[in-house]
Structure 1
Amino acid sequence: MKNRFLKLTLIFAAAVSCFTACETSDFADINANPNEPNEPVVGSLLANAESAVDAYLGATTPNLYVQYLSNGQYDEESRYQTLNWDTNYWYGILNDLQRIIDLNTNEETKASVAAGNASNNNQIAVATILRVYLFHGMTDRWGYLPYSEALSGLNTQYPKYDSQEAIYNGLLAELDMALNMIEGGAGPNGDYLFDSNMARWEKFGQTLKMVMALRLSAANPTLGAQKFNEALGNTISSNAENFVYPYLAEETNDNPWEDRFLAPSFRRDYLVSDVFVNELIGSGDGSNPEDPRLPQMAEPAFNSGTFVGAPYGKSNSATDDYSFISEDIIFNQTAPLYMFTYSEVLFARAEAAELGWTSEDAATLYEEAIMASMDQWGVAEDAAMAYVAANSYNGLESIGYEKWVALYMQGYEAWAEWRRMKAMGYEKELTAPDDLLSNATGIPNRQGYSATAPSLNEANYNAAVDAQGPDNLDTVLWIFE
C-alpha cells in the first residue's frame, strides 16, 4: 500500500509539473524554423538588390534599338516584337532597398542592424543611391510609374502613377539627401559592387547626378544646368575609376554575353550591325577601318576575314558571313559591363559647355572624351590621336555621333541618350526597319507596361495612360519631348 501511494504521488507530481510547464510555454515558436532568421539580414538584401544591376546592364534589346547589334536567324527582336515589359521584378528589388532603409531608420531596429555593419547613415545612403539608379532606369523606360505611393505594402495597395517630371524631381532630391548622409567609415556588408568603399559610392552618386542632370537638357534645362554644376568636379576622372559590374569566372555569376554564346545557351544570335560597322569603317575598308575601336569591339567575319556588319532588322542565318561582338566579351566570363565611364562624363561635360551650362571648353573635352573611349577599348595612343586629328570637333552633331559610338554595348544608357539627343536635334540618325512588329511605327520611344498592369491597378493605370499617351512603343516620354 505504501509503495502504491508513493507511485500515485509521483505520477500526480509529474502531471502537475507537465501542466505547469505547458502554461508557461510559448506556443508562438512552434512553427519557427531555427535555421531561418526571423529578421532579414541587411547584407543579403543589399547583395540581392545589386544583382539586379546585371539584368539591367546585360539586356539585349536596347542594344538592338540603337543598332549596335543585329539578330542572327531570328530577327523579331530587332523588329520590336516585345511590347509589354515586366515592372514587378524591379519593384521587388526596390522593396529590398526600402527594407534596408526602414530597418536603419526604425528606432527599434536601427541599433541592431548597425551592429557589425556600417553606420545607419552609410547603409541608408548606399540603399538610396542604388534605389535612385534603378528607378532612374525604370522611368526612362516606362515614363509614368508608381513612385511616391509605391513600396508601402498593404498601406497603399493601388498606388498612383507619378509623372516622369515628379519622379525626376523626387529622385534628384533623394540623391542629394543620400550624398549628404555619407560619413566616414566603411560601407555596408553585402556590397560587392564597390567593396563597401563609401568614397566610391559618393563618386558614383555624383556621376549619376551629372548623367541625370544632362538628361533634363530638353525637358528642364534650368534644373539640369543647376544639378550638373553641383556634380561637376566630383565625378570620375579617369578610366581607372569607371563603374563596372564585377563578374566572376563561374556559371552563376558570370558575364551574360558569355552565357549566351557558350554555356548554357550555346547560341549565335547576336551579330554586329551593318549600321555600326559601316560607320566605323568610314573612309577605310573592311580590313583597315577608319575608327581603330572597331577591331576591339568586333571580330572579322569568319568567311572573309574582314569586318562585315549584318543587315539590321533582317534574318541573318549565314552568321559566318558577318562580324560578331568581340571575343573579349562573348567568350570571357569576367568581361565587365559598364555602368558609367569616364568618356561618358567627358562627353557630358563637352555638351554642357556647348549648351552654355559651364565655362569649360567643349572642343577640348570632346577630344579628351574620344581619347578616353579609345583607351577604354585598348586602342594604341598614336592610332587614337590620328583618329582625333582627322575627326575634329564640329559642334553638337559631333558629340551626338561620337557618344553613340562610345556607349557601345551599354544598351539602356545608349538608348536613353540617343532619345535625349534626338529631342535636342543632334542624335546619330538611325532608321527603323520596314517591317515592324507590335504596331510600332519607328525606333521605340519607350517600353509598354506589363500586360497585367491594367487589371492590377486599373484606375491609376488609366489615369497614367490618359496623361502620358498610349501604352505603346511610340509614345514620347516627357524627358525626351
Structure 2
Amino acid sequence: MKTRIKKSIVMLSAAVMSLTACETAEFGSLNENPNEPTSASPSILLSNVEGAVSNYVAATTPNLYVQYLSNGQYDEESRYQTLNWSYEYWYGVLTDLNRIIALNTNEETKEEVSASDASNANQIAVATILRVYIFQGMTNRWGRLPYTEALGGLGNQFPVYDSQEEIYKGLFAELDSALGMIEAGSGPNGDYLFGGDMTRWEQFGQTLKMVMGLRLSEADPTLGKTKFNEALGNVITSNTENFFYPYLGDENNDNPWEDRFYAPSFRRDYLVSDVFVNALIGSGNSTTPEDPRLAKMAEPALNSGTFVGAPYGKSNSDTDSYSFITQDIINNMQAPLYMFTYAEVLFARAEAAALGWTSEDASSLYEDAIAASMAQWRVSDSAANAYIASNPYTGLESIGYEKWVALYLQGYDSWAEWRRMLAAGYEKELTAPEDLLSNATDIPDRDGYPATAQSVNEQNYNDAIEAQGPDLLNTKLWIFK
C-alpha cells in the first residue's frame, strides 16, 4: 500500500511540475514559481482555494445562458454583452494548489507540512482533485488553454494552448493518480468543504470523474465510457451525500444570492425567466403548476400572487410583476449552492444506460432521478409520484428536459450539460433573444479569451484560434461539437 502511494506521489508530482510556464496577461501571482517551496501554509492556501469555489458555483451569467433567469431593468447580461472573460484569477487559484503539492513533495518541506496536518498523500490528493475540478470548468468555458506549459513561472512566458482532448486526457490522469494515493486517516487542515473527510473527497473525485466521462459522449465516447464505468459504483448514492458549498451566516462567507438582493448590493435584478416558469407550469396554470418544483424554486409575483416569468433578454423594470428566486435562497445567508447532486448522478446513469454504456435500466433511473430532484427541493412524495406518472420516460429527450430542470441554478455545470446535449440533439430547446451583443449569433457556445491574450502571447493565441476557430462566443468547442 505504502509503495503504491509513494509511486503515485512521485508520478503526480512529476506530472504537475511538468505543467510549466504562465499566463502573462497580467503578471503578479502567475509569475511566481509554484514549484519553489515557500513558507506558505498549505492549510491557508487550501482555504483560499476553497473560497474561490464559491465564485464558480454562484456565477450569474451561465444561469442566464441556460435561461433559468432573466434580468430586471438591465438586460445586457442576458443579451451576452461580455465577450472577453479573464482567466487570470483561476490560474492564480491553480498556482495555490500547485504550491500545496510542491510543499508536500519537496524533500526539504514535506515532513514539516505533514507533522501537524494530514499525510502528504492526502494533502496532494485533495489539492489535485480540486485542481481537476477547476481546470475542467475552465476548459468547458474557453476551450483550448495553457495546460501542459502552465504555471511554471518565468521559465516559459509564452505557453502553448493545449487542445481540449489533451486537457481532458491529462486531467483524467491527474484524477486517477490522486484517487489512487488516498490513504486512511484525516484530510488536510483548512478544508471546510468536506471537513477533512477523505471518504467524501474520494466520493467527490469519483463523481467528478463520472461527470467528466459523460461530457465526452460526443467528442470521445470510447474514453468517456471507460472513465464513466470506472467511477460507477463509487459516486454519491443519496441526497444526503449531495456536494454543496457550505456558506455561513456571516457577511464574509455567505450565500452570494443573498448578497445580491440585500447588503451590499441591494439589487432586485435577477428574476426567474418566462422560459423556465412556462416550462414548469406545463399543463397546469400560473397558480398550480404541473411541476411542483416551481413552487419551491421560485416565488409568486408580488403583484398577482401567481407564477409569472420575466421575458428573457428584455428589460423588466416592473420587477414586482414577475417571480423571483425562492426566498429560501435569497433570504438565507446559509443557503447551499450545489456542486454535484444525486439527481444529476442518476440522470447521468440514465443517459449512460440509454447510450449503451451500461446494462442499467434507463427508464427506472430516469424516474429515480426526478424523484431525487423533487426530494432535494422538498416536494412531497405524493406530488412527485403524480408528476412522474404523468411524465414517463420516452427516450433521451426526456432526460434532456428533466436534467435541465434538475440543474436549476447550477450555472456552469448546467451550461456545459446543455451544450453537450445540444450537440447530441436532445437538449431542452432554447431560443436566443433577437437583439444580441458582442457579435453573438446565438446562445453562447464558449467564453472569449481575455482581451490581452493576443498581445501578450500572440503566436500561441493565433495557433489556438486557427485550430479552434474565431475567438467569439459562438465558436463551438471540440467537446460540444
Q: TM-score, normalised by structure 2?
A: 0.92
Q: Which amino acid aligns with 1:478?
A: W
| 1:418 maps onto 2:418 in alignment | yes
Deviations 1:253-275 (A, max 9, x none): 00000000000000000000000
Q: Which amino acid aligns with 1:212?
A: M
Q: Which amino acid aligns with 1:218?
A: E
- 2:170 corresponds in structure 1 to 170
| 1:70 maps onto 2:57 in alignment | no
- 2:41 corresponds in structure 1 to 41
| 1:105 maps onto 2:105 in alignment | yes
Q: Which amino acid aligns with 2:285?
A: D
Q: Which amino acid aligns with 1:262?
A: Y
Q: In the TM superposition, what is the alpha-carbon distance from 1:378 to its structure 2 partner?
A: 0.5
- 1:19 corresponds in structure 2 to none
Q: 101-110 or 306-315: which moved more?
A: 101-110
Q: Which amino acid aligns with 1:171?
A: L
Equivalent runs, 1:83-98 vs 2, <5 Å: 83-98=83-98
Deviations 1:365-392 (A, max 9, x none): 0000000000000100000000000000
1:460 and 1:193 map into 2 onto residues whose CA distance is 36
Would the alpha carbon gap of residues 432 and 454 (structure 1) be closer, same or farther in structure 2, given more than 3 Å must change?
A: same
- 2:388 corresponds in structure 1 to 388
| 1:274 maps onto 2:274 in alignment | yes
- 2:232 corresponds in structure 1 to 232
1:90 and 1:156 map into 2 onto residues whose CA distance is 19
Equivalent runs, 1:197-236 vs 2, <5 Å: 197-236=197-236
| 1:472 maps onto 2:472 in alignment | yes
What secondary structure is seen at the aligned counterpart in 2 of 1:199? helix
2:143 and 2:344 map into 1 onto residues whose CA distance is 23
- 1:181 corresponds in structure 2 to 181
Equivalent runs, 1:324-403 vs 2, <5 Å: 324-403=324-403
Q: In the TM superposition, what is the alpha-carbon distance from 1:471 to its structure 2 partner?
A: 0.5
Q: Which amino acid aligns with 1:226?
A: T
1:341 and 1:381 map into 2 onto residues whose CA distance is 18
Q: In the TM superposition, what is the alpha-carbon distance from 1:457 to its structure 2 partner?
A: 1.2
Equivalent runs, 1:155-166 vs 2, <5 Å: 155-166=155-166
CA contact (8 A) 2:38 2:103 kept: no
| 1:147 maps onto 2:152 in alignment | no
CA contact (8 A) 2:65 2:443 kept: yes
2:176 and 2:314 map into 1 onto residues whose CA distance is 45
CA contact (8 A) 2:70 2:312 kept: yes
1:101 and 1:428 map into 2 onto residues whose CA distance is 41
Equivalent runs, 1:250-289 vs 2, <5 Å: 250-289=250-289
Deviations 1:345-379 (A, max 9, x none): 00000000000000000000000000000000010
Q: In the TM superposition, what is the alpha-carbon distance from 1:456 to its structure 2 partner?
A: 1.6
Aligned residues with identical type, % of pairs: 75
2:164 and 2:460 map into 1 onto residues whose CA distance is 15
Provide runs of 4+ in structure 1 moved above 6 Å: none
What secondary structure is seen at the aligned counterpart in 1 of 2:104? helix
Deviations 1:126-168 (A, max 9, x none): 0000000000000000000000010111122111110011000
Equivalent runs, 1:240-251 vs 2, <5 Å: 240-251=240-251
What secondary structure is seen at the aligned counterpart in 2 of 1:153? coil
Equivalent runs, 1:7-46 vs 2, <5 Å: 39-46=39-46
Q: In the TM superposition, what is the alpha-carbon distance from 1:458 to its structure 2 partner?
A: 1.3
Q: In the TM superposition, what is the alpha-carbon distance from 1:107 to its structure 2 partner?
A: 1.1
Q: In the TM superposition, what is the alpha-carbon distance from 1:38 to its structure 2 partner?
A: 6.3
| 1:304 maps onto 2:304 in alignment | yes
Larger Rg: 1
Q: Which amino acid aligns with 1:261?
A: F
1:268 and 1:140 map into 2 onto residues whose CA distance is 30
Q: Which amino acid aligns with 1:71?
A: N
Deviations 1:6-25 (A, max 9, x none): xxxxxxxxxxxxxxxxxxxx
- How much is the aligned-residue C-alpha RMSD, in angstroms? 0.8
Q: Which amino acid aligns with 1:281?
A: I
Q: Which amino acid aligns with 1:316?
A: N
- 1:58 corresponds in structure 2 to 58
Q: Which amino acid aligns with 1:197?
A: D
2:254 and 2:457 map into 1 onto residues whose CA distance is 37
CA contact (8 A) 2:282 2:290 kept: yes
| 1:318 maps onto 2:298 in alignment | no
Q: Which amino acid aligns with 2:88?
A: N
Q: Which amino acid aligns with 2:121?
A: N
- 2:31 corresponds in structure 1 to none
1:42 and 1:353 map into 2 onto residues whose CA distance is 41
Q: Which amino acid aligns with 1:291?
A: D
CA contact (8 A) 2:73 2:317 kept: yes
Deviations 1:54-112 (A, max 9, x none): 00011000000000000000000000000011100000000000001111111111111
1:354 and 1:192 map into 2 onto residues whose CA distance is 37
